[in-house]
Amino acid sequence: MRIYGVIGWKNSGKTSLMERLVADITGRGVSVSTIKHVHHAVDLDQPGKDTFRHRQAGAREVVLASKDRFALMVEHRGPEPDLPAILSRLAPVDLVLVEGYKRDAHPKIEVWRAETGHPLIQPGDALVRAVASDAALSLPVPVLDLNDTGAVADFILREVGLV
């Protein structure tokens, strides 16, 4: 599996770009999975539901399955799993797009908008191969139009050798 990251500060447009990239790239016949890293506690389950009760009773993994999809919830009850551990759990696909994990060692594209007021990450990270922005920037890496999803997808697919 090839891995490519989409990073940036809060409210920079990472999730919107990810959504558009998944639609564009899968539309080209490339299989894609995604990983989203969050910094806060998250629980997809609800108190009182059967799966919640299974987890509360001590189950390490709980699968909620239906005819359309299944969700695997893992209680790791320890330190946060690192990206390689999460990647090892995925079924094989052509490309895994990772939103977040900005300091991990995989190639990335940074989403940057001046209005967020945050500094660029790229100057301090050699693994940021390009910046997608709605502003004109002069950088040692390609600057792509944040609103041109096709161009951003082309760049990523070339980077990972899927063109």
**Domain boundaries, given as residue ranges, for the chain:** 2-42+80-160
Percent pLDDT > 70 in the chain is 97
Residue 151 confidence class, pLDDT cut points 50, 70, 90: very high
Average the pLDDT over each of 3-12, 22-31, 32-41 and give the range with the smallest value.
32-41
Sheet (strand 95-99) strand order: 32-36, 95-99, 2-7, 108-112, 128-133, 143-145
Distance CA 104, CA 82 (A): 9
Report the helix count and the strand count for the chain, using DSSP H and E.
4, 8
Residue 143 confidence class, pLDDT cut points 50, 70, 90: very high
Q: What pLDDT shows up at residue 41?
A: 65
> Which H helix or E strand runs over 122?
none
Q: 111: how many CB neighbours lie within 10 A of its CB? A: 27
pTM of the complete model: 0.90
Backbone φ and ψ for 34, nearest 5 degrees, come out as: -130, 155
> Which H helix or E strand runs over 149?
helix 149-160
Mean pLDDT of 127-151: 97
Q: What pLDDT shows up at residue 40?
A: 58
Give CA separation, 13 vs 19, 87, 110, 120, 142, in Å.
Answer: 10, 24, 10, 14, 18
Average pLDDT value over all residues in the chain: 93
Question: Which CATH code for domain 2-42+80-160?
Answer: 3.40.50.300
